[in-house]
Amino acid sequence: MRTPAKTYPDKICPVCGATFNRARYGKKLEAAKRYLMRRTCSQACANTKEAVTKDTLHWRARKHKAEACSECGTTERLHVHHEDRDRRMATNPFAAAKHGASSLQPSTVMSA
């Protein structure tokens, strides 16, 4: 005859606010020691970060990077900066070796 499993108090997930207890894997309960160490209700909540670092933003921005320089069409040593340094604006890819600091300057409007 098996002894009944020890009951533990419910925990509240600090990320989503859900209450959780020992998980079941098929017919087996999660190990008590593992449950006591766990802080979140799921792996998805455990992977959530409150503060996003600059490196994370750079990693996410890679999918928006253009294939070629917007001024000369080269595909080597590309840098990407926001137009007029406004982060809400679209990005402007340029070749650092050829255009350097000139591409970082805000665009000027020429009057005719």
- pLDDT tens track, the chain, 112 positions: 778 878 899 999 999 999 999 998 898 989 999 999 999 999 999 988 777 788 887 787 777 777 777 777 777 777 776 666 656 555 665 555 555 555 445 444 444 4
| Residue 35 burial (C-beta neighbours within 10 Å; 0-12, 13-18, 19+) | middle
- Positive/negative CA dihedral, 72, 74, 77, 83: positive
DSSP H helices, 38-95, are 43-46, 54-61
Confidence (pTM): 0.46
